[in-house]
Amino acid sequence: MELASQSHSLEECYVRYVKKIADYGIALYVIYEEELQDIMESCFSSRQQVNNYLIWAIRMINSPVSTIAKTLLEDEGLRNIVEEKSKNTQDFYTRFFSGVRKKKETGDNLGEEMLAVCLHVLVKLPEEEGKFCVITDDKGAAGKIDASFRR
């Protein structure tokens, strides 16, 4: 569930929905995208490996008309990391997610892009298959996420 793009906070109906899910005993985890690096580093010993997961996720999700593409076009440092022309990957996760978030526009697909990138990274965690379930009534978002995993 993404933040409301205008108010930058969860709408009350979403808060009630999340509470109802938790009341039924379903475990929910809320994380900021930048926290993915810490999560991944707790499971894998190599920072380069952790960074490579994000690099490949970006490559899988990136399309010519996307907020990610716009960000990479305008930020040569990030683009060079994704193209593996630069090894300066310090704070790569933070730089990428905050850079993309700054490009958010009303009506874009940034929420879906970010979710797909995060899922591509998190599926690398050493756990059983089917560890994530994405539920949405946004058919466009579902299609975009599904297509990204079929590549």
In a domain, 119, yes or no: yes
Mean pLDDT, residues 96-121 taken together: 86
In a domain, 21, yes or no: no
pLDDT tens by residue, 23-56: 999 888 777 788 888 888 888 888 888 999 999 9
The span from the CA of 127 to the CA of 50, in Å, is: 16
In a domain, 5, yes or no: no
In a domain, 80, yes or no: yes
Question: How distant, in Å, are the alpha carbons of 35, 62, 80, 121 from that of 88?
Answer: 19, 21, 9, 20
In a domain, 117, yes or no: yes
Does residue 93 register a pLDDT over 50?
yes
Query: For the ranges 30-34, 55-59, 69-73, 135-139, which has the lowest average pLDDT?
Result: 135-139
Range of the structural domain that residue 45 is part of: 31-150
Structural domain count of the chain: 1
In a domain, 144, yes or no: yes
Q: What is the four-CA torsion angle of 46, 69, 143, 95, rounded to 10 degrees? A: 40
In a domain, 4, yes or no: no
